[in-house]
A and B are shown apart, each in its own frame.
Chain A
């Protein structure tokens, strides 16, 4: 589904990604771990199409189609979703209206009519119940005054609404207490299927107890330095990132 080949990316001439190779197939969950500053969030932003990052070399393709020339919204229409580490607060736009606008924009791009209001309401009800989101929450301004946990839950709610092919969860576990983590992870697990894929970016192994990955990759200095199965995450937790750094040096 996603194919990243020898990807080099920079921001303001500062190299952040230095030759990433990654292949993610439909039905798979990949975890990307690594110390702070290793390039995890940059990789997520580059896949989603953030303009500040410049691709110097290599390619990213979704289902065989090169993404480099596509705007973020076009990538979203193709089925890419990024759950933000720091969701942006947008006062004056309610969660519900934001979702309506987003869903209808995607439908328009596919040549479909707006989703009928009753169908939209039903979908919102269904997905908000799945994530145990209070109805009152949906009429509040997007992310404004939300707690860390509410923001993350709202991100996964958006993911559930948009049903992406490829979801990238950037540090979705940060700022979550254990109950919120369980709710969010359950939501994500319900969205797992044979036709979609998920990339989980995390610093800690904790989230991976709930969202069990098929593959684990370790990122260091903008490169994947080690790949393995879920056991690798446990090993990392035990030995710490210094172990990887030392191994890389050797």
Chain B
């Protein structure tokens, strides 16, 4: 049985465990129909030209873990940003782990999607927001919607700021030979509220894991949202991340994606601007080796006047790794005075590494500032000579320049401890001497 058939038959089993009369189940039923019709995207589709899901579909994934697994915090502490106090929503093999988590209902809701989708007190919010910005015809998103049951639910009411950042951590124990996970997150940040979220998917063994995740983020007027995705997984773990963001007037949403590992990673990051004077920030650092593959597909849809977007993705590709950057910007006819910037710079440090980069601009307004730039190159020879002439050996100088190149993106990270952590991961990846604090 191929993966599609297995998923379709699993949906029947899934229905035994959810409330079929809940309005959300209608959404699920619609979604599974769409997936049944479309199936997994193939390389024939333009958006999937450089990323093949063929290999993944041949794996015999468990759709539901057979038993509940437990982990000791000390064994997995390193996967958390443990230097600071945070709220934590932790899942082991897709199942919520209450003893590793720290949720709250103190003025804000930092809790579980399963609660939000079943308990009456959340119904009103779910009715308004659930599956409202996520695509209803993109097949992998609808696949996730069909199985949506568990994930993080974060609701920040008007004028509220949570006491600390929130970590969403998914751990895969490897107790299943191959496991598929489909977390569903919903983040609602009301007027003038703020939140900082760090998300990580981590496999603990070399067993195969496939995560197909959907996150919906709603930022109301004057809201301020920081979302950090830390992707530094094992070489047998694949991630398809579908993130949909709806922004209102004067809100700022920044999404940072740090892609340092995994087997196949696809980041579909979609920003929909539904208001004026807002800013969307999309930043990424990708450092890959071996046969790793990362595909960043971004969309920023400017639908109203006087808005900005800033995209800056940097990539370093070694060995046989492959990268894709496809950045689409749509500026509607009424979206005058739009400032949309897009930058994608790549360095290939091996003859066998490849990058495909493509800006896609669809501009229908006439009074806009849009700039885009894609570069693929080796390191600046003059800079290398400069460092060498000061006695820094070529290898170290190369690492230092790559470090500086990637590090530039971190300026907008607003959690200092996270910045330091990412700095260290970058330094380790590039072989820059440990203790070289910048």
Contacts and interface: CB of A to CB of B under 8 A. Distances in A.
B352 interface: no
A136 to B, nearest CB: 16
Contact of B388 (A72, A91, A109): A72
A92 B438 contact: yes
Contacts of A200: none
Interface string B102-118: 00000000000000000
A162 B405 CA distance: 26
Interface stretch (A35-43, A82-90, A179-187, A219-227): A82-90
A50 interface: yes
B9 interface: no
B380 A97 contact: no
Contact of A94 (B389, B397, B438): B438
Contacts of A88: 380, 382-383, 386
B401 interface: yes
Given A48-B389, A88-B382, A94-B438, A71 B394 contact: yes
Given A90-B401, A91-B404, A51 B391 contact: no
A217 interface: no
A97 B387 CA distance: 12
A105 B393 contact: yes
Interface residues of A, number: 32
B390 A158 contact: yes
A73 B404 contact: no
A106 B438 contact: no
Contacts of B381: 51-52
Chain B binding site: helix, strand, loop or mixed by DSSP? Answer: helix
B394 A73 contact: yes
Interface residues of B, number: 27
B392 interface: yes
Nearest to B380: A88
B394 A92 contact: no
A101 B388 contact: no
Contacts of A244: none
B69 interface: no
A49 interface: yes
B403 A77 contact: no
Interface of B: 380-383, 385-394, 396-397, 400-401, 403-405, 407-408, 433, 436-438
Interface of A: 48-52, 71-73, 75-77, 81-82, 84, 87-88, 90-94, 97-98, 101-103, 105-106, 109, 141, 158, 162
Given A73-B397, A105-B390, 10 more contacts: A84-B389, A90-B401, A91-B408, A92-B403, A92-B438, A93-B400, A102-B387, A105-B396, A158-B390, A162-B390
17 contacts: A48-B385, A49-B389, A51-B385, A75-B389, A76-B391, A87-B386, A88-B383, A90-B383, A91-B404, A92-B405, A93-B400, A97-B438, A101-B436, A102-B390, A105-B396, A141-B404, A162-B390
